[in-house]
Amino acid sequence: MSVSEDKIKEVTRRAQENANLIWNAANSLFGAYKPHEYGLVIIPMCVIKRFHDCLETKKEGCDRTRHQEVLEAYCKYKSFGPMAADFLKEAAGYQFYNTSEYTFDLLAADPENIADNFMNFLNGFSDNVKDILNRMGFYGQVDRMKEAKLLYQIILDFNAKDMDMSKYSSVDMGYIFENLVQRFSESYDEDAGAHFTSRDIIYLMCDLLVTNYKLDMDDDGMHCTVYDMTMGTSQMLTCMEERLHQLDEKANVTTFGQEINPFTMGIAVADTIIHGGDPDNMKFGDTLSEDQFSGYKFDFCISNPPFGIDWKREASVVEMEYKKGEAGRFAPGLPGKGDGQLLFMLNGLAKLKDGSGKMAIIQNASSLFSGDAGSGPSEIRKYMIENDWLDAIVQLPADSFYNTGIATYIWIIDKGKPTRNPGEVLLIDAGTCSVSRRKSIGSKRVDITEICRSLIVQAYGEYRTGEYSAKAEDGTGVVCRSRKLSSIDLGYRKITIETPVYKEDGTPEMKKGKRVPDTSRRDTEIIPLTRDADEYLESEISLFNPDAWIDHNKTKTGYEIPFSRLFYVYKKIRKAAEIARDLAEREYNLTRQLRELLGEAEE
263-277, pLDDT tens digit by residue? 888 888 888 888 778
For residues 62 and 142, membership in a common domain is answered with: yes
Quote the domain boundaries for residue 550.
Answer: 490-563
Q: How confident is the model at residue 185 (pLDDT cuts 50, 70, 90)?
A: low
Spatial distance between the Cα atoms of 541 and 424, rounded to a whole number of angstroms: 32
pLDDT at 152: 95
Residues in the chain: 603
For residues 237 and 112, membership in a common domain is answered with: no
Which value, to the nearest 10 degrees, does the dihedral of the CA atoms of residues 210, 215, 220, 225 take? -70
Cα–Cα distances (Å) from 599 to 6, 197, 594, 595, in that order, read 56, 57, 9, 6
For residues 559 and 578, membership in a common domain is answered with: no
Of 146, 165, 187, which residue is a domain's last? 187
For the purposes of burial, counting CB atoms within 10 Å of the CB of 359, is it exposed (0-12), middle (13-18) or buried (19 or more)? buried
Q: In this model, does residue 477 exceed pLDDT 60?
A: yes
Q: How confident is the model at residue 357 (pLDDT cuts 50, 70, 90)?
A: very high
For residues 386 and 278, membership in a common domain is answered with: yes
Residue 52: CATH number of its domain: 1.20.1260
For residues 212 and 145, membership in a common domain is answered with: no
In a domain? residue 444: no
Q: What tens digit of pLDDT does each residue of 408-446 get? A: 999 999 999 878 889 999 999 999 998 988 887 777 888
For residues 46 and 121, membership in a common domain is answered with: yes
Count of domains for the chain: 4
Q: What tens digit of pLDDT does each residue of 8-35 get? A: 566 566 666 677 778 788 888 988 998 8
pLDDT at 576: 81
Q: How confident is the model at residue 193 (pLDDT cuts 50, 70, 90)?
A: very low
Calculate what percentage of the chain has a pLDDT beyond 90.
Answer: 61
The answer to whether 327 and 314 are in contact (CB under 8 A) is no
* The one-letter amino acid at 348: G
pLDDT (mean) for 177-193: 61
pLDDT (mean) for 444-467: 93
Q: In this model, does residue 178 exceed pLDDT 80?
A: no
pLDDT at 495: 96
pLDDT at 12: 63
For residues 578 and 547, membership in a common domain is answered with: no
For residues 517 and 598, membership in a common domain is answered with: no
Q: What tens digit of pLDDT does each residue of 50-67 get? A: 999 999 998 877 889 999
In a domain? residue 67: yes
Of 137, 152, 187, which residue is a domain's last? 187
In a domain? residue 342: yes
How high is the mean pLDDT of the chain? 88
In a domain? residue 483: no
Residue 202: CATH number of its domain: 3.40.50.150
pLDDT at 192: 43
Choose among 69, 72, 74: nearest CA to 92: 69
For residues 128 and 205, membership in a common domain is answered with: no
For the purposes of burial, counting CB atoms within 10 Å of the CB of 189, is it exposed (0-12), middle (13-18) or buried (19 or more)? exposed
In a domain? residue 449: no
Q: What tens digit of pLDDT does each residue of 494-541 get? A: 999 999 999 999 899 999 889 999 999 999 999 999 999 999 999 999
Q: What tens digit of pLDDT does each residue of 224-255 get? A: 999 999 998 888 998 999 899 888 888 899 99
Spatial distance between the Cα atoms of 87 and 127, rounded to a whole number of angstroms: 14
For residues 39 and 152, membership in a common domain is answered with: yes
**Which is it for the CA torsion 282, 288, 294, 299, positive or negative?**
positive
Spatial distance between the Cα atoms of 353 and 373, rounded to a whole number of angstroms: 29
Spatial distance between the Cα atoms of 155 and 159, rounded to a whole number of angstroms: 6
The answer to whether 231 and 301 are in contact (CB under 8 A) is no
Q: In this model, does residue 200 exceed pLDDT 70?
A: yes
Of 170, 187, 204, which residue is a domain's last? 187
Q: In this model, does residue 574 exceed pLDDT 80?
A: no
In a domain? residue 427: no
In a domain? residue 460: no
For residues 159 and 259, membership in a common domain is answered with: no
Q: How confident is the model at residue 307 (pLDDT cuts 50, 70, 90)?
A: confident
For residues 131 and 234, membership in a common domain is answered with: no
pLDDT at 222: 85
pLDDT at 466: 95
Higher-scoring residue by pLDDT: 24, 287: 287
Spatial distance between the Cα atoms of 186 and 402, rounded to a whole number of angstroms: 11
In a domain? residue 180: yes
